[in-house]
Amino acid sequence: MSDITQLLENNRQWSEDQRNSDPEFFNKLSERQKPEYLWIGCSDSRVPANQIVGLIPGDIFVHRNVANLVVHTDFNCLSVLQYAVDVLKVKHVIICGHYGCGGIEAALKEEPLGLIDNWLGHIKDIVYKHREELLNLNEHEKSARLCELNVLEQADNVKRSSIVKEALKRGQPLQVHSWIYSLRNGRLKDLSEVTE
């Protein structure tokens, strides 16, 4: 069986398992989407939003990109943010990074990688902004701290977006959260409790 065929078989088995445990699962799922959370996270396959917070499909709206960036000119991310806030009326926007992020580590190196260098430039701006804090850290500490600083910066970008400003102006309940995930123990840390 080819790898891709195995994925289709996995899907068939998953679908069957879901129906066996809850015969109405897919009917309920197809009726409407009403999540309370928007998750903006990294594309890294080791950080599956639903699973690490224990939610089922339909409970969390997800946008992922390399290094969980929220860039004011990224219409893909902003469209997701606007849909989540204005249409789905999510109550929480979670920016979640993770330690050991390849995008963060690539931004710390001076090796040219091609097109992605333009994307990683946003992270290099954060490195420059916090250069004094990062200067005396070893490689591991620098990467970990930059992962945290990046999450905080992206959360600030969400808060400064016209989408969130307008929602708050009209009194819509909305909170922005800065989280980081550890691949080593599977735990989330709320950075607003630690570093803000």
Distance, CA of 156 to CA of 166 (rounded, Å): 15
Rounded to whole angstroms, how far apart are CA atoms 95 and 80?
13
How many Cα atoms occupy the beta-carbon half-sphere of 166 within 13 Å?
8
Two tokens at 114? 């091609």
Q: Give catalytic residue positions.
A: 42, 44, 46, 98, 101
